[in-house]
Amino acid sequence: MRQRPAQSNATLIEFKRIFQTLNTITMGCCHSGVKGVSGSIRPLSLFTVLTALGSAGGHLVDFGCGFGRVLLAALATGFRGSTGWEFVENESQRVAFESTKAKLHAYSDATWIGEDILTLEPTLELCGQVTSAYAFWVGFPKPVQLRILEICRSEFTNICSVAVFLDRKWPKPERGDWDTILFL
């Protein structure tokens, strides 16, 4: 079995601390009573995704950030900032996110914003700083998927690639959908 470098192990331990702290703050209710589709990702999987994105001191945006796990983990990975958007109706998620940040005594450069992705107009202060985007794509309606891709290809970001992760439990996109997504 291949061993991870010590820095990777330390980062993965920090990911687990983030997940455990959030779980404690929400009393294990990280996915109940909120609008939208609640996606979840385990610490090792998130570590793999964020490592593949390569932080290089960049700024990560998370579309549909939920409780902000990815925002906090991105900073632990080496991103200098992270911003996430979630339905404004899910204010309880923002409260849990802010409480987790306070309990961890870190991650002041992570920001949770309550705004619908379909009406999202990224702020000028982030313009050109965004290097990576994350979205737990599973269950997003097609208009939301297309809006995310529009933002990713705009002058707002310096993103060079977009990865789409699909899950077996959700239907695959129709043939014509891929043409629209790939050539936006």
pTM: 0.81
Are 73 and 44 within 8 A, CB to CB? no
pLDDT of residue 175: 52
Q: How many CB atoms lie within 10 A of CB 51?
A: 15
Query: Do the domain assignments include residue 11?
Result: yes
CB 111 within 8 Å of CB 86:
no
Mean pLDDT by 10 residues, the chain (184 residues): 63 90 83 48 83 82 90 93 90 93 93 90 77 80 86 77 55 51 43
Tell me, yes or no, whether 155 lies in a domain: yes
**Predicted pLDDT of residue 46:** 84
CATH of the domain at 13: 3.40.50.150
Looking at the 3D structure of the chain, how many domains does it have?
A: 1
Q: What is the DSSP string of 112-158?
A: EEE--GGG----GGGTTTEEEEE---TT--HHHHHHHHHHHTSTTB-
Domain span at 139: 6-30+41-182
